[in-house]
């Protein structure tokens, strides 16, 4: 890689030219990293529902042409001025949010919401100089959440790069850079169910199943999966889910159905859909006196959370979480080690694998509801 240091790299990238249209494999130019940036060679990336959501551009500001992708594993190719904690050859996971190490959030043990580097879905340029590092024939191609991993090479702020064990298989641990860590951390770091607890998980996609896995690792005795898609129930058993409820099967609010089978409510609930009704149900289904509900899913911008104040006064707790309360650089390497020690199984999250040239198949699998995570090989 030393021959490319300081040079513009020409490589393949999957470019979204417009909303909802298939990605096109193009030759792009990737500029060298500037101050506090690193250029990465991406070896494996995965498709997350967030990529699909912003590619469809139905509910947010469209930013095109753009290179999506934010779950990935790769190797540092070169570093910019001021970067001391990473070197060429390091194995890393780029992350859509960051850790500057200097702001109040980074200096707090309670928060991971960095003032400088927290997720910004509208920004399509680097934070340092307001320019893109991607071009095609001199015309800029926009970044996505600071990562843009649907490219053989990408440039990322150093604060959004987690250095990991070089022995960790990047085709497996790449899924820890978003969805799996988000759900797992929501359980382990925020809900914190005690051994023997009863936990409800709303939404059994990748994030919800990771939350169920976290509840299982915590020693929960019952894990109730709530989903509108009954085809997900059998798969969810692999992640510790012990019983299933489909709101369509009940003629009363699902929170009442849950309370009826749990002696008044669950100890912990984790909501992973972003549906406002599910959020309210997740809060109202926890037991009074000690129940804790954790919101993970992102709602629509016009949604309003409504519940009777007595639900709060009766000592139920409502929490929110972002990326499972993990600080990317400080905490994600330890999550990788959980996998290396066989404390965490990632293979069951990976349902499909395609080559980079077949990346649009990954979108098809997700849109059809057939996949949890599809690994995209950059070979």
Q: Which residue is catalytic, options 39, 99, 105, 106?
A: 106
Q: Which residue among the candidates 160, 178, 272, 374 is catalytic per the annotation?
A: 178
CB 15 within 8 A of CB 66: yes
Choose, from 26, 114, 133, 262, the residue flagged as catalytic: 114
Q: Indicate which residue of 48, 160, 272, 374 is catalytic.
A: 48
Options 12, 118, 123, 216, the catalytic residue: 118
| Catalytic residue check, 160 | no
Q: Is 4 a catalytic residue?
A: no
Distance between CA atoms of 88 and 30, rounded to whole angstroms? 17
Q: Choose the catalytic residue: 100, 174, 285, 374.
A: 100
Looking at 71, 77, 99, 271, which residue is catalytic? 71
- Of 145, 127, 148, 130, the closest CA to residue 28 belongs to 148
Residue 370: CA count within 13 A, CB half-sphere: 10
Active site includes 100? yes
Question: Active-site residue 232, yes or no?
Answer: no
What's the maximum distance between 2 C-alpha atoms anywhere in the chain? 66
Strands (E), the chain: 9-15, 24-30, 37-46, 71-79, 91-94, 134-136, 139-141, 153-157, 161-163, 198-202, 222-226, 243-245, 268-271, 292-295, 317-320, 350-355, 373-377
The one catalytic residue in 4, 26, 37, 50 is 50
Task: Examine residue 65 and say whether the peptide bond preceding it is cis (omega within 30 degrees of 0).
Answer: yes
CA distance 146 to 88: 20
71 catalytic? Reply is yes
Q: Let me know the angle formed at the C-alpha of 359 by 355 and 364, rounded to the nearest 5 degrees.
A: 125
- Per the annotation, the verdict on 174 as an active-site residue is no
CA distance 161 to 93: 6
Give φ, ψ of 74 to 5 degrees: -160, -165
Exactly one of 11, 29, 103, 307 is catalytic; name it: 103
- Check if the beta carbon of residue 184 is closer than 8 Å to that of residue 323: no
Is 178 part of the annotated catalytic residue set? Answer: yes
- Helices within the chain (DSSP H only): 49-56, 170-173, 179-185, 206-217, 232-236, 254-261, 276-284, 309-313, 328-340, 359-367
The question of whether 39 is a catalytic residue gets the answer: no
103 in active site = yes
Is residue 285 part of the annotated active site? The answer reads no
How far is the C-alpha of 81 from the C-alpha of 51, rounded, in Å?
Answer: 30
**Catalytic, out of 11, 12, 29, 49:** 49
Catalytic residues: 48-50, 70-71, 100, 103, 106, 114, 118, 178, 373
């Amino acid at each position: 890689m030393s021959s490319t240091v300081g040079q513009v790299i020409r490589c393949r990238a999957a470019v979204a030219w417009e909303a909802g249209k298939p990605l096109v494999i193009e030759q792009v130019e990737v500029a060298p990293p500037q101050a506090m940036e690193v250029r990465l060679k991406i070896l494996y990336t995965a498709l997350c529902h967030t990529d699909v959501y912003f590619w469809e551009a139905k509910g947010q500001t469209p930013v095109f042409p753009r290179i999506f992708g934010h779950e990935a594993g790769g190797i540092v190719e070169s570093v910019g001025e001021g970067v001391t904690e990473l070197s060429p050859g390091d194995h890393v996971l780029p992350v859509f949010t960051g850790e500057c190490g200097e702001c109040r959030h980074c200096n707090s043990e309670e928060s991971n919401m960095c003032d400088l580097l927290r997720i910004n879905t509208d920004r399509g340029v680097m934070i340092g100089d307001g320019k893109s590092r991607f071009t095609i024939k001199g015309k800029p191609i926009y970044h996505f959440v600071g990562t843009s991993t649907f490219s053989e090479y990408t440039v990322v702020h150093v604060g959004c790069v987690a250095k990991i064990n070089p022995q960790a298989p990047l085709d497996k641990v790449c899924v820890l850079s978003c969805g799996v860590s988000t759900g797992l951390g929501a359980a382990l770091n925020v809900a914190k169910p005690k051994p023997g607890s009863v936990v409800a998980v709303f939404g059994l996609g990748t994030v919800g199943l990771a939350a169920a896995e976290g509840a299982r690792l915590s020693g929960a005795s019952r894990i109730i999966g709530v989903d509108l898609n009954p085809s997900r129930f059998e798969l969810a058993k692999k992640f510790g889910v012990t019983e299933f409820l489909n709101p369509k099967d009940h003629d009363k609010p699902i929170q009442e159905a849950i309370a009826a089978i749990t002696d008044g409510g669950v100890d912990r609930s984790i909501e992973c859909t972003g549906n406002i009704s599910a959020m309210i149900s997740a809060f109202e289904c926890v037991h009074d006196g000690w129940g804790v509900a954790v919101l993970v899913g992102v709602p629509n911008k016009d949604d309003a959370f409504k519940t009777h104040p007595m639900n709060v006064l009766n000592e139920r707790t409502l929490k929110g979480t972002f990326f499972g309360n993990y600080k990317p650089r400080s905490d994600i390497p330890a999550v990788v080690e959980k996998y290396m020690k066989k404390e965490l199984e990632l293979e069951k999250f990976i349902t499909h694998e395609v080559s980079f040239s077949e990346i649009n198949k990954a979108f098809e699998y997700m849109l059809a509801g057939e996949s949890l995570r599809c690994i995209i090989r950059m070979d």
